[in-house]
């Protein structure tokens, strides 16, 4: 078998390899999983890979930056400012996607996200995402369906894990 047809051959061009990887990463995101290949390719092309050092803030509470992050590697901690100081809420790691709602419309961040280790992330912006929506207007319905499904599953998960402790605060699926 010639080396050009071997499956495990490294990518000939780094950009081509990253593009293919970006498509595969985006397919893992519930918001994008049901999209046809063509809009997914454009999203993968428009997304940027960024590296953040431990201690860097990926986004700040109160901002409406319109960015979404897929964590390729590393760990981050979600923070919220309170009267008594900064509260550390939870950690995020490889394979997690944050900020998808900010792609759909302007949304002020309720939390900050700090890199705990070096992070490599795929970053999408609202402006670039809007270009894909303009080019493929038929995907609006699929995105809406994906978001509804995700919110319903998320709330079921919270109710199952938190039980009666959160009942007074649940109901996002009623929106």
Q: Which tens digit of pLDDT belongs to each residue from 134-155?
A: 999 999 888 889 888 888 888 8
Q: Which long-range contacts (CB under 8 A, 24 or more apart) does 129-136 make?
A: 129/43, 129/46, 129/68, 129/103, 131/42, 131/46, 132/39, 132/42, 132/43, 132/46, 135/39, 135/42, 136/36, 136/38, 136/39, 136/42
pLDDT digits (tens, 9 = 90+) for 92-128: 999 999 999 899 899 999 999 999 999 999 999 999 9
**pLDDT at residue 137, as a whole number:** 93
pLDDT digits (tens, 9 = 90+) for 24-46: 999 999 999 989 999 999 999 99
Is the pLDDT reported for residue 15 higher than 80? no
**pLDDT at residue 84, as a whole number:** 95
**pLDDT at residue 28, as a whole number:** 94
CATH of 12-161, one of 3.30.2350.10, 3.40.50.1820, 3.40.50.620, 2.60.120.10: 2.60.120.10
Segment among 2-6, 12-16, 85-89, 96-100 with least mean pLDDT = 2-6
């Amino acid at each position: 078998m010639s080396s050009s047809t071997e499956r495990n051959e490294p990518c000939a061009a780094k950009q081509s390899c990253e593009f293919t990887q970006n498509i595969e990463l985006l397919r893992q995101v519930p918001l994008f999983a049901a999209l046809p290949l063509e809009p997914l390719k454009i999203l993968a092309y428009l997304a940027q890979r960024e590296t953040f050092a431990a201690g860097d803030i990926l986004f700040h509470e109160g901002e409406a930056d319109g960015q979404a992050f897929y964590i390729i590697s590393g760990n981050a901690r979600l923070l919220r400012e309170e009267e008594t100081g900064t509260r550390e809420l939870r950690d995020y790691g490889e394979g997690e996607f944050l900020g998808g709602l900010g792609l759909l419309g302007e949304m002020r961040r309720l939390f900050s996200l700090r890199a705990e280790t070096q992070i490599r992330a795929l970053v999408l912006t609202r402006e670039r995402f809007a270009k894909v929506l303009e080019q493929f207007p038929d995907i609006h319905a699929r995105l809406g369906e994906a978001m509804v499904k995700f919110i319903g599953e998320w709330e079921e998960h919270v109710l199952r894990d938190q039980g009666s402790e959160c009942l007074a605060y649940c109901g996002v699926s009623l929106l």
